[in-house]
Chain A
Amino acid sequence: MTPDPGPPGRSPASPAHRGAVPLTKEPDPRERDVFTADLPPGEPDRGHRTHRKWSTRRIAAALVATAILVAAVAALVDVIAVRAGRPAAAWRRHLADELATRPVDDVWMLTGAAVAAAVGVWLIVLALTPGQRRWLPLRSPADCPRLRAFLARDGAADLLRDAAMRVPGVGAAHVRVGRHRIKARADVRFRDPRRVKDDLTAVLDEERDRLALARPPRIVVRVRQRTD
């Protein structure tokens, strides 16, 4: 398998349809979307939806494993040293004294207990939640059944912002992509803000459908008039 590594055809003729955005016609997502086109209702998607990915939690696991390892090795070394007839290490005597003299309503004991409980809750949350909040699952093409695809949220925001900037009258646009909602803010320099908002909604809807998200978020558009 030796694919031709010839010069990558880097978008000199990048998709022509991106240039002209139909502002007059309400875009019909079903017309353009290759994956959901002509689906009879009730039938499963031709392209299947990717479920959210569950993180392996490697970093948290590595940190906890390191903490346990360090504590166990330190205790082991000291216990063996004491068995061999040496005096116990200073940290161990200090720790034992503190634990033996400070009552549990001491402020340090309470702080330590609160921190331990908070860390415990955090670890349980990490264990039970999927994580990978940065990645939005995508619909996979029908021809690749074993394909799972994800799009970075900031990348989706950049694409939507570029689409918003193509609307006439928009001077600046800011898009935040959440997992359930897309928030777009735009400064209107000219034209009627209401018309600009309608255009923006249409353009962003169309661009969102091009992203092929498994669960398309709702789009909320806010416009602000800026004439300075």
Chain B
Amino acid sequence: MTPRSTLNRSLLALVGLVLLGGGLLILFAGLDLYRRHDLVPPAGWPLTTPDDVLLGSADRVRWSSRGWWWWPAVIAALALTALLALWWLLDQLSRRRPGSLPVGGTSLQGGVELRDRALGDAIAAEAGALPTVEHAAVRVTGRPAHHRTRVRLTLTPEGTPGATLGALCEGPLRTARRSTGLADMPTEVRLQVARHKPHRVE
């Protein structure tokens, strides 16, 4: 799993747990499940009987009569929440791209560089020329040190995924490895088949 996937899944689970917990708290009190099943909620439990309200008048008084620091603290907490949510949202929208890749074992400073788009286009052009490939699109994503190549192929109805994969590995990907000197190219290939009507092949 990528770090972004781990982050997203952790935060989704956290939000899910909060929603589930809050919902269950209200449902338990609202349906009076504590009394019906002879459960004794611990002392200080927020909602216990069906007559409780979420925002009691005691709560309102308590919250609005704190010291001078209360409202600045609330504003700071809300601003922090909004900023973190914005950062999380923008992290989903951006796709990291390496920009330039070092070629031929040279370092990034003063060496020969290859634009990620050029590498992707070159692989796509060669992959698109394979006999059973109708369309090929290649993107290089990630950081320069940890870049990965994402290949999307649309096969013609005559194509066979196994054979096409072998041809892709022997042809375009080997060319790319040889010509860039990047021995270690993590590659992700997604194969689709061009939609077509059922037909008989005579």
Contacts and interface: CB of A to CB of B under 8 A. Distances in A.
A211 to B, nearest CB: 5
Contacts of A3: 122, 125-126, 129, 172, 175
Contacts of A143: 169-170, 174
Interface string A22-59: 00000000000111000000000000000001111111
Interface string A1-27: 111111011110111001100000000
Contacts of B186: 146, 148
B9 interface: yes
A15 to B, nearest CB: 7
Given A10-B131, A72-B81, A110-B26, A146 B184 contact: yes
Nearest to A166: B201
B24 A65 contact: no
Contacts of A106: 30
A80 B119 CA distance: 51
A116 B89 contact: no
Interface string B2-18: 10110011111101111
B144 interface: no
A114 B166 CA distance: 51
A55 B198 CA distance: 32
A220 interface: no
Interface string B152-181: 000111111111011001101111100110
B85 A5 contact: no
Nearest to B47: A104
A18 to B, nearest CB: 6
A198 interface: no
B71 A1 contact: no
**Chain B: interface secondary structure?**
helix
Interface string A53-91: 111111111101110110011011001100100000000
Contacts, number: 301
Contacts of A148: 186-189
Interface residues on A, range: 35 or more
A211 B164 CA distance: 10
B10 A109 contact: no
A219 interface: no
A209 B161 CA distance: 10
A131 to B, nearest CB: 10
A16 to B, nearest CB: 11
A149 interface: yes
B198 A14 contact: no
A166 B19 contact: no
A15 B132 CA distance: 9
28 contacts: A3-B129, A5-B129, A15-B163, A54-B1, A57-B5, A58-B92, A72-B82, A76-B78, A79-B75, A79-B78, A80-B75, A100-B54, A102-B53, A103-B53, A104-B53, A110-B26, A114-B23, A116-B23, A121-B20, A126-B9, A128-B9, A147-B165, A149-B191, A158-B193, A158-B196, A162-B201, A210-B161, A210-B163
Given A11-B156, A62-B89, 14 more contacts: A10-B156, A14-B156, A15-B158, A72-B82, A79-B78, A104-B29, A104-B52, A109-B30, A121-B16, A147-B188, A156-B161, A158-B195, A159-B160, A172-B198
